[in-house]
Chain A
Amino acid sequence: MIQDAVGAALILVGALFMGIAGIGLLRMPDLFMRMSCTTKASTLGMGFLMMAVAVRFPNLGTMTRALAITLFVFLTSPVAAHMIARAAYVSGVPLWKKTVADQLCNQYDRCTCTLESCPLVDDGELKDSREAGIGEEMATTPEDKKPKSK
């Protein structure tokens, strides 16, 4: 009885999460927003369904298999989503036109319309910009303190 009730609840929650993933995949305006709502929701829904299997059949072998599938998908789904998103960003899939922040815009060559984005940005520019930012902060704070001390 309790197994049936808990299993039914887990099935409902998991199926609803996967339905949300399907709706987001169909309705979101951008590839990256689609992936953002799809990967997490479908992975979580699949985890709930495998938990329902483990509750429904409390053998050792079945629970081990359900746990193995859950762990495998939880490990591989973010990796696959990251690789697809990186390939899509490099190959120039357009963002949504109301996108607020594109933090890689200055560091890839894609946004300067040269499309030579295969050699990614080397670490020199990043390190220089970070050191410049830190140096400015270090330079501003003692100058603020010196007039106060005088």
Chain B
Amino acid sequence: MNGVFETVLFAGMAILTATVFMAFLRLVKGPSLPDRVVALDIMSVTALGIIALYVMDTGEVIFLDVALIVALVSFLGTVAFAYYVERGQRESGGSE
């Protein structure tokens, strides 16, 4: 049973690594800035999943605090980018 769990853990880590790779491709070739912001958001959420798998692999539960901080920083970064995109549009396009 232990071997089955280890195999599933390895498969999940492989799938999450593929997800990070696909998000990186979107980050490279995304046509606009919000595409890249979405790709960064997905990379951070995938990093949360990778941290969860690492916790289950090694048994060190202290990394869940790291996951919480990563979630917080990711949310703040996304909100900051949203304000940046909207405000840049407002300063360049607003002719009033």
| A contact set with B: CB distance below 8 Å | 1, 4-5, 7-8, 11-12, 14-16, 18-19, 21-23, 25-26, 31, 34-35, 38-39, 42-43, 45-46, 49-50, 52-53, 56-57, 59, 61-62, 65-66, 68-69, 72-73, 76-77, 79-81, 83-88, 90-93, 115-119
Contact = CB atoms under 8 A, between A and B. Distances in A.
A53 B56 contact: yes
Contacts of B20: 22
Nearest to B88: A91
Interface in B21-76: 21-23, 25-26, 32, 34-35, 37-39, 41-42, 45-46, 48-49, 52-53, 55-56, 59, 61, 64-65, 67-68, 71-72, 75
A42 B42 CA distance: 7
A8 B38 contact: no
Interface of B: 1-2, 4-5, 8-9, 11-12, 15-16, 18-23, 25-26, 32, 34-35, 37-39, 41-42, 45-46, 48-49, 52-53, 55-56, 59, 61, 64-65, 67-68, 71-72, 75, 78-79, 81-83, 85-86, 88-90, 93-96
18 contacts: A4-B4, A5-B1, A19-B16, A26-B26, A53-B64, A57-B61, A62-B61, A69-B48, A77-B45, A77-B75, A84-B38, A85-B34, A91-B34, A91-B88, A91-B89, A93-B32, A118-B93, A119-B96
B4 A14 contact: no
SS class of chain A's interface: helix, strand, loop or mixed? helix
Given A35-B38, A84-B82, A91-B88, A21 B19 contact: yes
B19 A31 contact: no
Given A22-B23, A23-B22, A42-B45, A80 B93 contact: no
Contacts of A52: 52, 56
A26 B25 contact: yes
A95 to B, nearest CB: 12
B9 A118 contact: no
Contacts of B18: 19, 22
A88 B34 CA distance: 6
Contacts of B38: 25, 31, 34-35, 38, 84
B37 to A, nearest CB: 6
Contact of B61 (A23, A42, A61, A83): A61
